[in-house]
Each structure stands twice: as C-alpha cells, then as structure tokens.
Amino acid sequence: MLQILENFSLKNFNTFGIDASARYFVEINHQDELVELFMDPQWLQTERLILGGGSNLLLVKDFDGLVIRINIRGIEHRINHQEVFIEAGAGEVWNDLVNFCVDREYAGVENLSLIPGSVGASPIQNIGAYGVELKDVFRSCQAFEIAAREFRTFTREDCRFGYRDSIFKNELKGKYIIVSVKFGLSLIADINLKYGAIEQELTNRNISKPTIKDVSRVVSHIRVSKLPDPSTIGNAGSFFKNPIINADQFQRLQSEFSEVVHYPAGDGLIKLAAGWLIEQCGWKGKVVGHTGTWKNQALVLVNHGGATGEEVYSLSSQIIDSVYTKFGVLLEREVNIIS
Ligand code: FAD
Ligand code: EPU
C-alpha cells in the first residue's frame, strides 16, 4: 500500500538545501507502484514533480502538488564479447553506477564520475562532463506514460538528445516517468582526454598510459577542486547553460572582448564559457544575502545557509541582466525552476 505523506519537508531532498515543503509526497520503490498510484484519478489532476536526487532543481516556493520520489533500485549487467550491457533502476545513484563500472573496468562512463543525482534523471538533460555526454553510452530507457498508465521504451533517437537537452525537457515535459535506463559500455578502454584539464592532471601525476580508474580519479579530483560539495554548501552545479551563438555574433563579441573564452560547437556555432562572462561582470565569489556565486566557479550559485528559493532566483535574474547588458548575450537557466 502506497504511503502518501502530507506537508512533507523537501529540505533534505534538494541539493540547494532550500527549506520548502510538498503538499503531498510519495516514494516509489517499484515500477508497478506507478500503475497503482495513478489508479486514483486524483493524482492525474494534481500538479506533479518527479524527483530523483534533487540536484538540478530550485524550489522557489512550497510545492502545492504531489512530489513523486523515484527510488527504483537494481543494477544488472551482461557481457557479450567486448560489449557490456547494463540496466539500472531510475533510483540508483548515478555515481554508484559509475563506480560499479569503473571497479570492473567497464569503459564509457569514467569521465562522468562524481556527477550527483539519479540514473533516472541522467537522460532528462543528457548529463555531460569532461568531453562525454550520456548519449554516448545510452541505449534506451523504459518510461511510464502517466496519462495512458503504460510503459514505453525510448531509443536514443527517440530521446533527441542535445547539449543539456532531450525530448523530456521539451514536447514530453512532465508526461513520462523514467523507471530504468540501459547502457552500452565496453571492455576495451577508449580513453577520452579531449578535455585539456584531464591530460594536465595526468601529467602532474606522471601517468602516461591512463586506465579507466586513473581517468575516474583525475576527473573526481578536478571536480572537487572547482565545485562546492552540496553536503556542505547548497548548490545545483552550473546554474546556467553555456550559451551557443553564431559566427557573426561571435565576431562582434570578440572584436570588443578579445579574451572571450569559447569553443567550437559544430555547424559553425560557438559555445561561450558562461562562467567567464559572469566573472567578467564581477560576480565571482560575491556574497548576496544568503546566496552568492562560488569562489572557484562563477557559474555555480550557492546557498550560504538559510537562503530561500526566491533569493537564489532573484540573484540569477540579476546575473542574467548584467551579462546581457555587458555582452549582449542572454544566459539560459540550466537548473529546473520549480515555482
Ligand atoms: P532532479 O534534480 O531530482 O531532477 C531533475 C529533473 O529531472 C527534474 O525536472 C525532474 O522532474 C526530472 N526527473 C528526475 N528524475 C526523473 C525520472 N525518473 N523520470 C522523469 N523525470 C525525472 N550535470 C551535468 O550534466 N554535468 C555535470 O558535470 C554536473 N555537475 C554537477 C555538480 C554538482 C555539485 C551538482 C549539485 C549538480 C551537477 N549537475 C551536473 C546537475 C545534476 O547532477 C544532473 O542534472 C543530474 O542528472 C540530476 O539528477 P537528479 O536525480 O538529482 O535530478
Ligand atoms: N571560467 C571562468 N571563470 C569561472 C568559471 C569558468 O573564466 O568562474 C572559464 C575558464 O576559462 C574555464 C572555462 O570557463 O576554463 C570552462 O570552465 P569549466 O571547465 O569549469 O567548465 P564549464 O563550462 O564552466 C561545464 C559544464 C559542467 C561540467 C564542466 C566539465 C555546463 C553548463 N557546465 O562547465 O557541468 O562539469 O563543463 O565538463 O555545460 C553542470 O551541468 O551542473 C556542470 C557542473
């Protein structure tokens, strides 16, 4: 029997540590419980929030609806020649899955070490770091269609992955609940050192032939040096996306700001480092009330303790305004705003 809790505090269920509550809260431990939950038509009409680890959302106020916390567990793996097939429950912790693979030398997710959150949320924004994106190892996912009360499989093509983007953030937003994800890894390590900082750190450690474990360790080290640990300083990682602009816009920008940090983004487009834009506007490490930006990474907004969601949101608006005024570039929030 499902237990629906009322007026439930979400403080420990979001990495910003925002003290907001949910009108209703339910934890799902098995996919069949989703069918059971939605047998009651009340929940079809109620506003809903699907919750994994709460590491990519900002609760601007109390949530006047049903929070559905996904805690479906289990990791299965099968090897066929050099290929490794993995299926994981949506409620598994992403980094536990990474460690499961790294420990066994299954290659493919080592660059995605130490990203917080759940397996089920990983396709939502196509998580990415250090030259690898989820789509590189994703095979398919199983999701529950709320309105039809049916399960459906999504292939990689169905998901329409992009930079921090998928169909689940667009046309299908709020319509499906991911219950499990299948991955394809390899027994042959194809070490990805595209991200300069990894190579640099390997050189510092005198490692010339890195293993999967080395890459995982180095990525974890770099992340810890830059990003605040949510267990001590509330945050949700990068608050904004790195903006992508066209060649004309870029030329104009570079003629005025020759130092602008940028990368090719394919199709003649250019990706700008939002952290650089924000730092240039004087925000890096700035404390504003209970909030601010992180001292080592201006793209990360933080809760210094006791911040409300509104305060963090208001700071993000001020940052958007000042970056736009100085550079004419519009930042887009990457974190999901729950208001
Ligand atoms: P939540 O925050 O719980 O949910 C995020 C969104 O997904 C919400 O819209 C929610 O409704 C939806 N959702 C969650 N679970 C499901 C489900 N089972 N079915 C359907 N919808 C669902 N991200 C990166 O890509 N790269 C990084 O390098 C990175 N670094 C980070 C570093 C820090 C310190 C932090 C705090 C965050 C970082 N993030 C990064 C963001 C975050 O880790 C990812 O977005 C992660 O996938 C969020 O997982 P979650 O389970 O916490 O999702
Ligand atoms: N920079 C600054 N000042 C800053 C921060 C960054 O000048 O305060 C410049 C530096 O030149 C730096 C460059 O920006 O070299 C890039 O910074 P970093 O390597 O930290 O990466 P990022 O572009 O800021 C992105 C992702 C991260 C991911 C890292 C590593 C986005 C929005 N963010 O950050 O993802 O971990 O690359 O791949 O794409 C997240 O999504 O939550 C997240 C943390």
Q: Is position 291 within any domain?
A: yes
pLDDT at 125 over 90: yes
Cα(65) to centroid(ligand 2), Å = 34
User: Residue 182: which of 284, 322, 88 has the closest Cα?
Assistant: 88
Amino acid code (one letter) for 25: F
**Residue nearest atom 16 of ligand 2, based on CA coordinates:** 273
User: What is the rounded CA–CA span in Å between residue 182 and residue 221?
Assistant: 28
CB 95 within 8 A of CB 15: no
Catalytic status, residue 334 = yes
What is the number of structural domains in the chain? 3
Owning domain of residue 9: 5-70
Domain CATH code at residue 135? 3.30.465.10
Domain CATH code at residue 311? 3.90.78.10
Could you read off the pLDDT of 260-291 as tens digits, one per residue? 999 999 999 999 999 999 999 999 999 999 99
Q: Is position 127 within any domain?
A: yes
Answer yes or no: do 62 and 17 share one domain. yes
Residue 194 is predicted with a pLDDT of 85
Ligand 2 pocket member 238 (CB < 6 A): yes
The torsion region of residue 17 among left (phi > 0), alpha (psi -120 to 50) and beta comes to left
Q: Is position 223 within any domain?
A: no
CB 163 within 8 A of CB 184: no
User: What is the rounded CA–CA span in Å between residue 303 and residue 175?
Assistant: 31
User: What is the rounded CA–CA span in Å between residue 333 and residue 74?
Assistant: 32
pLDDT at 150 over 90: yes
Residues lining ligand 1, judged by CB closer than 6 Å? Answer: 15, 49-57, 70, 90, 115-118, 120-122, 124-125, 127-129, 177-178, 227, 230, 235-237, 336
**Could you say which of 48, 69, 140, 164 is catalytic?**
164
Answer yes or no: do 83 and 180 share one domain. yes
Residue 37 is predicted with a pLDDT of 98
Cα(314) to centroid(ligand 2), Å = 22
**Residue nearest atom 33 of ligand 1, based on CA coordinates:** 237
Q: Is position 38 within any domain?
A: yes
Please compute the mean of the pLDDT values over residues 10-20 and round it to a whole number. Answer: 98
pLDDT at 1 over 90: no
123 by DSSP, 3-state: which? coil
CB 211 within 8 A of CB 119: no
The overall average pLDDT reported for the chain is: 97
Threshold 0.85, pTM exceeds:
yes
The torsion region of residue 131 among left (phi > 0), alpha (psi -120 to 50) and beta comes to left
Please compute the mean of the pLDDT values over residues 307-313 and round it to a whole number. Answer: 98
Q: Is position 281 within any domain?
A: yes
Could you read off the pLDDT of 168-192 as tens digits, one per residue? 999 999 999 999 999 999 999 999 9
User: In this structure, how many other beta carbons lie within 10 angstroms of the beta carbon of residue 316?
Assistant: 20
Residue 147 is predicted with a pLDDT of 96
